[in-house]
Structure 1
Amino acid sequence: MQHVAPTTRPLVVGIGGTIGGVSSTERSLRIALDAAAEQGFRTAMFGGADMARLPLFDPRAATRTAEERAFVDAVREASALIIASPGYHGSISGVVKNALDLLEETARDERPYLADMPVGLIATAYGWQATGSTIAALRSIVHALRGWPTPFAAAVNTQLTRFDDAGGVSDAAVLEQLRLVGRQVARFVPLAERMPG
């Protein structure tokens, strides 16, 4: 793992979106990342178009594509993650799951997977039922990857909430919830970095 100099601002990586254009999921993720950036963090986002370029994860592959390496290297450098997924049939989308499966590349790292890393969670769906089950699935995956889901997760019902191209949200409460995800991730990074190895 590459050493990051202490003067370098910590990095928060965002993962989320859908294939086929900028989605409400990706717009939600951008709002949360911007809130982390306001706390002094660098941010990097892997949206739907980025995840669409990742081949299906093959654990036996002898080499990785440039896109796969860039994604894994960003997560290796990250101090925190924010994961946003649409609720597809009551759970996370295939492209988000495929990206998370690729983190198997870090299994033998000094810090494997998402060990001791704060992870913010966002679920978007056309209705409330899928937001709850998608957040539960994301929490289970983050626990399996040894990460710390932050206490608050944002559930966005796109039947009720609209996003615009300028980053605006029709519901002020949803905007605040998404910003809270970014702020909580930022707040917990110093605690995670003080943990003994």
Structure 2
Amino acid sequence: MTESPIRVLCIGGSTRPNSSSEKAVRVSAAAAEAEGAVVDLIVSRDLMLPIYDTETSERTPEAERFVAAARAADALIVASPGYHGSMSGMIKNVLDYLEDTNKDERVYLDGVPVGCIAVSYGWQATVSTLQSLRTTVHALRGWPSPFGATINATEKIFDGDGACIDERAKFGLETVAKQVVEFAKLRKAGLVTDLAVAGTV
């Protein structure tokens, strides 16, 4: 029996279509596909969900799509622009919708590898944004990728078609994808089963 492929949910971008953070997550998504993963890509304005509301179970079709994709995913890749030293409100709000999985067999992102990508104008904000992504992933019980990609948008990183033309940035985006796919394969094969096995608790 053929083993089902790894499913990777890739989210990122800003309210501006074709932003640098959207281009970044697309490069990483393509690298995940090259590793044999099936990719579900949700970017830019498709991530503009209503503020997460704990007082109602009503959800927009876009919110339902995101939660369903997260439930089906073996791994995630998240790319956020840096807004005032942290991840954007849009990306944080999307991740807040994972609260809808709090009664699932797999709560939140429990044991799920998550690739973290931070894009900002300047190196200082990329570092703090990456840290905020890692902190939120930890809170959701996910495993941030050992390598976190940081993209300084003041430099020439992408061409007009969205291809990454900076070798350092390309290496980072592709490494994030390779790491989450590799770890998801180990999890799916039962070679890593919980945090205790990995010696992290």
Normalising by the residue count of structure 1, what TM-score does the alignment of the two structures yield? 0.93
Separation (CA, whole Å) in 2 of partners of 1:68 and 1:77? 14
Amino acid at match of 1:9: P
CA deviations over 1:64-123 (Å, ceiling 9, x no partner): 111111110000000000010001000000100010000000011000100000000100
Query: Which one is further off, 186-195 or 101-110?
Result: 186-195
Q: How does 1:1-197 map to 2 (within 5 A)?
A: 7-52=3-48, 54-193=49-188, 194=190, 195-196=192-193
List runs of 5+ in structure 2 lacking aligned partners.
Answer: 195-201
Separation (CA, whole Å) in 1 of partners of 2:163 and 2:143? 29
How well do the aligned residues superpose, as a CA RMSD in angstroms? 1.5
Verify the 8 A CA contact 2:80 2:117 in the aligned structure 1: yes
Separation (CA, whole Å) in 2 of partners of 1:122 and 1:105? 24
Give the length in aligned residue pairs: 192
Shift of the 149–6 alpha-carbon distance from structure 1 to 2, 3 Å rule, reads farther
Verify the 8 A CA contact 2:27 2:164 in the aligned structure 1: no
Separation (CA, whole Å) in 2 of partners of 1:65 and 1:6? 36
CA deviations over 1:106-158 (Å, ceiling 9, x no partner): 01100010000000010000000000000111110000000000100000001
The alpha-carbon deviation at position 190 of structure 1 amounts to 1.9
Amino acid at match of 2:127: G
Amino acid at match of 2:27: I
Query: Which one is further off, 112-121 or 166-175?
Result: 166-175
Separation (CA, whole Å) in 1 of partners of 2:54 and 2:18? 29
Name the SS for the 2:104 alignment partner.
coil
Separation (CA, whole Å) in 1 of partners of 2:45 and 2:158? 19
Amino acid at match of 1:105: D
Shift of the 137–6 alpha-carbon distance from structure 1 to 2, 3 Å rule, reads farther
Q: Percent identity?
A: 44
The alpha-carbon deviation at position 6 of structure 1 amounts to 6.5
Name the SS for the 1:71 alignment partner.
helix
Verify the 8 A CA contact 1:119 1:185 in the aligned structure 2: yes
Verify the 8 A CA contact 2:157 2:164 in the aligned structure 1: yes
